[in-house]
């Protein structure tokens, strides 16, 4: 009996459900929590990992650092992982190596964006958003497609034309070129505060490749509104794990200083036993009973 690959599982989920929900993660613990919450997959986020290291998301985190964390996530939970590999860590030659490594490490998909290296995170105000020539990025996509071993492994082209302020015609032109180069899906990104710009793009898009969105800047874009567009198959919640973590830590740390101790916050946070559960200490105990002599 052949076991489905994670890439096949992800493709089947999109086919069966019409829309999959992918939650960002920056560590195995947050990945496991996303799995328990019921998400269809995990986004191995470069932004979140950069934040975890206390660094800006400007290509400072290396491929090795990101790959090691993604591999650790894959080892600790069963969901498909969509790996955010930014610009592919260089040119098309670097993309070949990256795809080899990420597929071998357990990713179900990679997302490659059409910015120049080093990139600047998309949503920062007045950020430098420089895009590659279309032909150069097509080469990256073609390289990625020819490198994958599993034909189900998804190559997602991230179109940053709207982020760069180049307008919908340029975004559509790039999306068509990336599909021609072999991209399985097109991720269209926007920093507008409403979904209008993305909805306009999706309505104007007549390619075969399904669309991926990341509605961080326009949170009113809910599942019902996404489904109504008929062409979006994946929604990525791109940075909510790290933002929720920071919110909780800021509140807890401030309360401890304010209260002069942990007596109040101790009742507001999860128990140590819950952390033991997430660490799967029950397995350790079972192994000890079985094998320690």
Give 230-259 pLDDT, tens digit per residue.
999 999 999 999 999 999 999 999 999 999
Provide the mean pLDDT of the chain: 96
**Average pLDDT of span 2-7:** 88
12 an active-site residue? no
Q: What is the DSSP letter of 27?
A: S
pLDDT at residue number 2: 62
Distance CA 177, CA 134 (A): 7
Q: Is 197 in a helix, a strand, or coil?
A: helix
pLDDT above 90 as % of the chain: 95
N residues, the chain: 293
pLDDT at residue number 3: 84
**Average pLDDT of span 200-220:** 97
pLDDT at residue number 118: 86
pLDDT band (50, 70, 90) for residue 207: very high
CA dihedral 61, 155, 96, 66 (to 10 degrees): 20
Distance CA 286, CA 284 (A): 5
Distance CA 111, CA 293 (A): 48
pLDDT digits (tens, 9 = 90+) for 155-182: 999 999 999 999 999 999 999 999 999 9
Radius of gyration of the chain (CA): 20
**Does residue 1 surpass a pLDDT of 80?**
no
- Looking at 120-124, 147-151, 214-218, 225-229, which range is the least confident one? 120-124
pLDDT digits (tens, 9 = 90+) for 18-37: 999 999 999 999 999 999 99
Q: What is the DSSP letter of 61?
A: S
User: Cβ atoms within 10 A of the Cβ of 267, count?
Assistant: 8
pLDDT digits (tens, 9 = 90+) for 38-71: 999 999 999 999 999 999 999 999 999 999 999 9
User: Cβ atoms within 10 A of the Cβ of 204, count?
Assistant: 12
Helix 92-104 and helix 134-147: axis angle, to 10°?
30
pLDDT at residue number 128: 83
Q: Is 150 in a helix, a strand, or coil?
A: coil
pLDDT above 70 as % of the chain: 99
All CATH 3.20.20.60 domain ranges in the chain, comma separated: 6-241
What pTM value is reported for the model?
Answer: 0.95
Answer yes or no: CATH 3.20.20.60 is held by domain 6-241. Answer: yes
The one catalytic residue in 12, 16, 57, 84 is 57
């Amino acid at each position: 009996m052949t076991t489905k690959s994670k890439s096949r599982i992800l493709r089947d989920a999109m086919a069966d459900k019409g829309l999959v929900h992918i939650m960002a993660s920056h560590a195995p613990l947050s990945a496991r929590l996303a799995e328990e919450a019921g998400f269809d997959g995990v986004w191995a986020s470069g932004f979140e990992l950069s934040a975890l290291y206390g660094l800006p998301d400007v290509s400072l985190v290396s491929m090795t650092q990101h790959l090691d964390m993604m591999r650790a996530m894959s080892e600790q939970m069963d969901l498909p992982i969509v790996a955010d590999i930014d610009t592919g860590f260089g040119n098309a030659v670097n993309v070949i190596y990256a795809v080899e490594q990420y597929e071998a490490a357990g990713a179900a998909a990679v997302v490659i964006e059409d910015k120049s290296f080093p990139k600047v995170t998309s949503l920062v105000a007045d950020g430098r958003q420089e895009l590659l020539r279309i032909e150069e990025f097509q080469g990256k996509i073609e390289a990625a497609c020819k490198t994958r071993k599993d034909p189900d492994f998804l190559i997602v082209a991230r179109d940053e034309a709207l982020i760069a302020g180049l307008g919908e015609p340029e975004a559509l032109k790039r999306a068509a070129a990336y599909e021609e180069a072999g991209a399985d899906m097109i991720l269209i990104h926007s920093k507008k505060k409403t979904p209008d710009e993305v909805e306009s793009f999706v309505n104007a898009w007549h390619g075969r490749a399904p669309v991926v969105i990341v509605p961080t800047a326009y949170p009113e874009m809910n599942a019902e509104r996404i489904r109504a567009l008929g062409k979006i198959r994946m929604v990525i919640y791109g940075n909510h794990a790290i933002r929720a973590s920071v919110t909780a830590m800021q509140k807890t740390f401030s309360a401890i200083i304010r209260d002069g101790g942990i007596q109040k916050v101790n009742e507001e946070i999860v128990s140590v036993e819950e952390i033991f559960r997430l660490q799967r200490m029950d397995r350790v105990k079972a192994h000890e009973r079985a094998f320690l002599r």
